Structure 1
Amino acid sequence: MTDYVAFALQFLVAAGLLVSACYYVASYWCARKFFSERRVTSGLPDAELPGVTILKPLKGIEPELFDNLASFCRQDYPRFQVVFAVADPADPAIGVVRELKRSFPQVDIELVVDSRIYGPNYKVSNLQNGYRVARYDYLVIADSDIRVPPHYLRTIVADLVRPEVGVVTCAYRARPVGGWPAAVEALFVNTDFTPSVFVARVVETTRYAFGATMAVRREVLERIGGFLSLARYLADDFFLGNLVSRLGFKVEISPLLVDTYLAVPTWRRLVEHQLRWSRTYRSVRGGSYFALVLTHGFLWALLNLGLHWGDWRAWMVAAGLLGLRLTVAATVASRFLQVPLRPADLCLIPLKDLLLSVLWASAFFGNTVSWSGHRFRVLARGEMAPVTGGSEGLPLVQKSEARPKFGTGAES
């Protein structure tokens, strides 16, 4: 029995070493493929481009907030509206929106302040409240930490006008704001998450979206039940793409890469965010999440050293795998994502990879997460519920009372 267990462990470690090495090579190849493709744009003249409403749910102040939001007001696009939705009348983000309205008087900017909620996902409640004043049938949703170039809307719409496309989303690169926790968080994005997006795009059909950008036509959104259909899910971006894909539409990853400016003030905030991501991923794609550990090369290299500590070949394997990992990470980040890694970043990658493995395992031991100052329990199939029960004192609106109204729009 002991020999059988030892053989099984050695086989598992060998498989992990092989799969992770292949994955690193594949992540480079898939990134190269993504950026080498030339997509056909719509070629529509300005007069025929559809109007677009940008929905921006906001809560609180974060570094770079004004510049992030301002980038959506600087679009080289003939007709667009920007709707900022806030729940709390005392939210300091309201002051930033008013400053934007003064700075961009030529832009159609709406501020909606509405505390009504429709489920435990308060971001979706903000979106629903902002949706009531959306003027146009092409909708673009993006998180508050995202910054985009002036041609952003033109690029997104070029895909969204195709009738077979139901959702357009964007991969993203991270730019840290602040100290080491933000730098490590950026490494999670630039060396793990975004390369995995490029790989997934090649090996499977995309059936999900990312919060960095979710673009959808109004009629498609209404067919899945509107924003209200997302109000009970933690991963609203995943389920928007998933529900739309079930209707037979394609989810298109735009060739445009957007920026997320990460302000992570503490190590605790970093761990909470990554643990939320891990537990969310496990709840919606359990099998895929379980297999993810096979791509954790540093973990398998350490386990291999533990099994063969005195064998020089184990040290050579560890050195070779680590060298491959760092080379691919640095190349993808600098050549494709345009965010070169510093020597300090390269030194942090092995420690960050080990933390990633710890977080992967932690996702199986508990189902609570922290998000925007609230604690939630992750339920089956990605649904969520406040740990304290109810909706933490906010007024709940039933679905029957939450029909969107169009074309009115006023700051309240």
Structure 2
Amino acid sequence: MHPINELSLTAACLCTGLIQASVSAAFALKIRTRVRQWNRRAPGPALPCASVLVPCKGPLSTMKDNLRSLLDQRYCGTVQFLFVTPTENDPATGVVRELLREVGRPGARLLITDLKPRTSSAKIVSLLYGVDAADPNTEVFAFADADIRVPPHWLEALVLGLWRNPGVAATTTHALYVPRSGRLSEFAKLSLSALSMTGMTFERLLVGWSWAIRKRDFEAFGIREIWARSYFDDVVLNRVFACNRGSLRWVPEAGVGFWDDSGWDRVFEEAKRAFFNLRVCDAGVWLLATLAVGWVVYLIYWALVPPLNWRLLLVTLLVFSTNPLIAVGAVAWWLPHTFGSWRVGCLNALASVAAFPAVLGVLAYAAALSPWSREVVWSGTRYRVLGPERVEVVSTEEDA
């Protein structure tokens, strides 16, 4: 007999699972509502001048097609695309140069910084370089990573989210991993991205992969100064938008997809970095996420204590795996064309459930290490992060 009553544990599991499921249901409902609003939108006036800034670095098998999806934007206004690479010799430089020759889109430029990170991350160095090089007439800055695939209306949706909501300073959207093989590591990554997506419901989390902001608000909020001394480009800004309630809006119709051919090592590394980022910049969310993971691990522990309690184990796994199921299912149902050639369907939703036990192990590993981490490696550069706006560059690829 278990020291802790099975009925009590099961009831507590169902209660906490219901809370999480309600968040996922709210996520799905908000997708449904906003996609319907988007589909019923009336043609509007010309959109403001926008500059799309894309930091590019290193070899990436999908980079060329990802950047092409950005250049294929349908935007009723002036737009420039600034692809920023760190050096002439970086593999991304050749990819961007070749793509620009093929596409020949006016307003698309390659920028090479030739700068090393000193007091911020290499990505932020590229972003600030692009901001300084942007068209002086720019009214909106849009930011995208080179490893995402965007729909043709991505920029329009982000900018309309700003222009039709005067109190909104910035718009952002979710990023969903899209499996392209049957590997368990890919389904685990899908499930992880689905779990993180549900946090968009509260509209207080900025996703650095894909977002836009008015130029005047970028300057008024002092984002340039914050970035200049930070490792983070997104989570460090969450408190800025939190202090200006209602200034951040989630735009699900602009949702993006991403894929890479990495295995379990990358899955563990990215989960560890995500918990690390939250601990440094958003301790409240980090504590909540850590306690949630710890609670599920606790339930499974008591289910596995001999004699094995199959009922408690199955209830725990089924209850908490409904969250990625609802999130992925909502994207598959309401945003069927979001990722172009990358499709998300019902089978992906079921696969995210099947991968949940592995996901739980990844989350437990990342949560357990996060309180003790001080250094992080990102794109070949090692950083020592002492606070949201205190970072030291320990070593770079050139130092190796």
Give the TM bin, normalised by the shorter chain. Answer: 0.7 to 0.9
* C-alpha distance in structure 1 between counterparts of 2:8 and 2:398, whole Å: 49
Partner residue, 1:185: 189
Partner residue, 2:179: 176
Tell me the percent identity: 23
TM superposition shift of 1:244: 4.3
**Contact 2:188–2:358, Cα closer than 8 Å, also in 1:** no
Query: After alignment, is 341-350 or 24-33 more displaced?
Result: 341-350
Equivalent position amino acid for 1:186 in 2: L
Give the one of 212, 237, 253 matched to 1:240.
Answer: 237
1:32 and 2:32 are equivalent in the alignment: no
Give the one of 275, 278, 295 matched to 2:275.
Answer: 278
* C-alpha distance in structure 2 between counterparts of 1:248 and 1:24, whole Å: 24
TM superposition shift of 1:184: 2.5
Secondary structure in structure 2 of the residue aligned to 1:387: strand
CA RMSD of aligned residues (A): 3.0
* C-alpha distance in structure 2 between counterparts of 1:355 and 1:150, whole Å: 34
Secondary structure in structure 1 of the residue aligned to 2:170: strand
1:167 and 2:170 are equivalent in the alignment: yes
1:253 and 2:253 are equivalent in the alignment: no
* C-alpha distance in structure 2 between counterparts of 1:76 and 1:381, whole Å: 36
TM superposition shift of 1:235: 2.6
Partner residue, 1:287: 284
Partner residue, 1:403: none
1:315 and 2:310 are equivalent in the alignment: yes
**In the comparison of the two structures, how many residue pairs are matched?**
375
- Provide closer, same or farther for how the CA distance between residues 363 and 256 of structure 1 changes in structure 2, counting only shifts above 3 A: same
Equivalent position amino acid for 2:104 in 1: P
Higher Rg: 1
1:84 and 2:95 are equivalent in the alignment: no
Partner residue, 1:406: none
Partner residue, 1:97: 96
**Contact 1:57–1:85, Cα closer than 8 Å, also in 2:** yes
The CA deviation string for residues 89-128 of structure 1, in whole angstroms up to 9 with x for no partner, is 1112112212222232233101111123462211111011
Give the one of 356, 361, 372 matched to 2:363.
Answer: 356
Secondary structure in structure 2 of the residue aligned to 1:132: helix
**Contact 1:273–1:370, Cα closer than 8 Å, also in 2:** no
Q: What residue ranges of structure 2 are gaps of 5+ in the alignment? A: 333-343
Equivalent position amino acid for 1:34 in 2: K
TM superposition shift of 1:59: 0.6
TM superposition shift of 1:393: 7.4
The CA deviation string for residues 112-171 of structure 1, in whole angstroms up to 9 with x for no partner, is 111234622111110111112212221100111111111112211111113211110001
* C-alpha distance in structure 2 between counterparts of 1:77 and 1:255, whole Å: 18
Query: After alignment, is 87-96 or 315-324 more displaced?
Result: 315-324
Partner residue, 2:129: 129
Equivalent position amino acid for 1:340 in 2: C
Equivalent position amino acid for 1:123 in 2: K
- Provide closer, same or farther for how the CA distance between residues 196 and 243 of structure 1 changes in structure 2, counting only shifts above 3 A: closer
The CA deviation string for residues 300-359 of structure 1, in whole angstroms up to 9 with x for no partner, is 33122256x448xx5323212322334443343134344434566543311221221121
TM alignment of 1:9-408, pairs within 5 A: 17-18=13-14, 20-38=16-34, 43=42, 45-46=44-45, 48-78=46-76, 79-116=78-115, 117=117, 119-135=119-135, 136-161=138-163, 162-176=165-179, 179-190=183-194, 192-198=195-201, 201=202, 206-247=203-244, 250-296=247-293, 298-306=296-304, 309-310=306-307, 314-337=309-332, 338-341=344-347, 345-381=352-388, 383-388=390-395
- Provide closer, same or farther for how the CA distance between residues 87 and 341 of structure 1 changes in structure 2, counting only shifts above 3 A: same
Equivalent position amino acid for 1:196 in 2: G
Equivalent position amino acid for 1:114 in 2: T
TM-score, scaled to structure 1: 0.81
